[in-house]
Amino acid sequence: MAIIEINHLRPGMVVNKDIDDYRTGSVLVKNGTVLNRRLILLIKNLGIKQVNILDEGDYLKEHPEENFIIKYEVLSDKVGTVFSDIKIGKKIVISEISEEVDMLIIELTKNDNVLGRLRELEQTDDYTFNHSMNVCMLSTMVGKWLGYNQVELKQLSLTGLFHDIGKMKISQNIINKPDKLTEEEFEIIKKHPIYGYNIISETVGISKNVALGVLQHHEREDGSGYPHGVRGDKIHEFAKIIAVCDIYDAMTSDRVYKNKQSPFLVAEHLDESSFKNLDPKITRIFLDSISSFYVGNVVKLNNGEIGEIVYIYPNKPTIPIVKVGDKFIDFLKERDIKVVDILK
């Protein structure tokens, strides 16, 4: 353990002694908490000068389950800096995050339950940043399920991480607008894949595959996407993967202009879209793999009842069986019943 000056605190460090809020006398940060950027800012704003920090190696021997959160927070901090730098015209230096991406991939692929991983994480108020981190993790898992090798996984992870980087070149008044965009504003938003492609293309040490994935992640199988309206096999596979993960995370997250939707309603949307504008193979692998993680979750139904998912039909990822009290609701038979929220 060591006493660390406040300006030397970094996400991923672990608190070794409770940090008290002198204003209320209550505990602000508990012993054993993994620090993230939000907590560090909170500690700084209280005027605390030093924090007692655990040695990471010793902590992980006792708490190996925390390794993922620590690796995530370290990468999150560095990626946050990259996003901020892009806003002011700096270029991405890929070597500054390369090792952290490698470590996160290792931690992710140890355990398929990426949804459980996402629920473990503290989120900031920056939707674009959180969304980019989430899509990075979801797409990495899809790559694993598709049998990608380590080089391909790394490239795909970077594609997920930077798929919306072009939005850093667009006014935040448009990005964070709580109302419906005007036609002119939407046309500006539609340029972000091109801005992102230009940023990635100018980045030393990053694959052309990543740049294409960023450019094409809003293209669609039927040619209805943007920015170029390409279709089918003209779309890079990375972009097809990002498209599915992008939609899933966006629809299951709270945004300034829209509340999150139930993962099962989103799964139904993806399933329907796979017959038109999303790659059917990738969508099926995503839905089949991710749906298995919902077994054991407590959910709220559209009739107001609370129950637990006990079964998901094979090859029918949108159709569970839910146990409510002593009864079982089979969604294959009860077509009007829907999952509206996952409570835990």
Evaluate if residue 145 carries a pLDDT over 90: yes
Model confidence at 58, in pLDDT bands (50, 70, 90)? low
Closest by Cα among 147, 158, 53, 60 to 109: 147
pLDDT of residue 315: 78
Beta bridge partners of 299: 307, 342
pLDDT of residue 64: 59
Structure pTM?
A: 0.83
CA gap 71, 147 in Å, rounded:
23
pLDDT of residue 57: 61
Output the average pLDDT for the chain: 87
171: left (phi over 0), alpha (psi -120 to 50) or beta: beta
Q: Which residue has the tokens 């294959």?
A: 332
Q: Are 310 and 328 in contact (CB under 8 A)?
A: yes
pLDDT of residue 102: 92
Over residues 140-166, the mean pLDDT reads 96
Give the range among 196-200, 253-257, 323-327 with minimum mean pLDDT.
253-257
pLDDT of residue 122: 61
Evaluate if residue 252 carries a pLDDT over 90: no
Q: Are 70 and 34 in contact (CB under 8 A)?
A: yes
Amino acid (1-letter code) at residue 94: I
End-to-end alpha carbon distance in the chain:
34
Evaluate if residue 257 carries a pLDDT over 80: no
Beta bridge partners of 123: none
pLDDT of residue 18: 82
The 3 state secondary structure assigned to 143-163 is: HHHCCCCHHHHHHHHHHHHHC
Cβ neighbours for 313, distance < 8 A, ≥ 6 positions apart:
319, 320, 321, 332
161: exposed, middle or buried (Cβ count in 10 Å: 0-12, 13-18, 19+): buried
In degrees and rounded to multiples of 5, residue 323 shows phi and psi of: -95, 120
Give the range among 97-111, 180-194, 205-219 with minimum mean pLDDT.
97-111
CA gap 340, 302 in Å, rounded:
6
Evaluate if residue 120 carries a pLDDT over 70: no
pLDDT of residue 109: 84
Higher pLDDT, 243 or 334: 243
Specify the CATH number of the domain 2-62.
3.90.105.10
CA gap 70, 53 in Å, rounded:
13
Beta bridge partners of 324: 327
CA gap 15, 36 in Å, rounded:
11
Over residues 66-77, the mean pLDDT reads 81
Enter the tokens of residue 55. 């040695």
Closest by Cα among 281, 274, 339 to 307: 339
Over residues 77-82, the mean pLDDT reads 88
Over residues 241-258, the mean pLDDT reads 86
pLDDT of residue 336: 87
pLDDT of residue 53: 82
* 299 three-class SS: strand
Over residues 302-326, the mean pLDDT reads 89
Sign of the CA dihedral with 181 first, then 187, 190, and 195 last:
negative
| Highest mean predicted confidence (pLDDT) among 16-30, 86-100, 138-152 | 138-152
CATH topology classification for 64-260: Hypothetical protein af1432 (1.10.3210)
pLDDT of residue 112: 67
Above pLDDT 70, what percent of the chain? 92
Model pLDDT for residues 261-285, shown as the tens digit of each residue: 888 889 889 999 998 999 999 999 9
237: left (phi over 0), alpha (psi -120 to 50) or beta: alpha
| Highest mean predicted confidence (pLDDT) among 107-111, 178-182, 233-237, 317-321 | 233-237
Give the range among 40-44, 88-92, 206-210, 272-276 with minimum mean pLDDT.
40-44
Give the range among 62-76, 170-184, 245-259, 271-285 with minimum mean pLDDT.
62-76
Evaluate if residue 212 carries a pLDDT over 90: yes
Which DSSP string do the residues of 34-74 spell out, in sequence order?
Answer: BP-HHHHHHHHHTT--EEEE--HHHHHHH-GGGHHHHHHHH
216: exposed, middle or buried (Cβ count in 10 Å: 0-12, 13-18, 19+): buried
Measured CA to CA in angstroms, residue 310 lies from 111, 130, 207, 296 at distances of 21, 30, 43, 6
Evaluate if residue 37 carries a pLDDT over 80: no
Q: What angle do CA 94, 97, 102 make, to 5 degrees?
A: 110
Evaluate if residue 178 carries a pLDDT over 70: yes
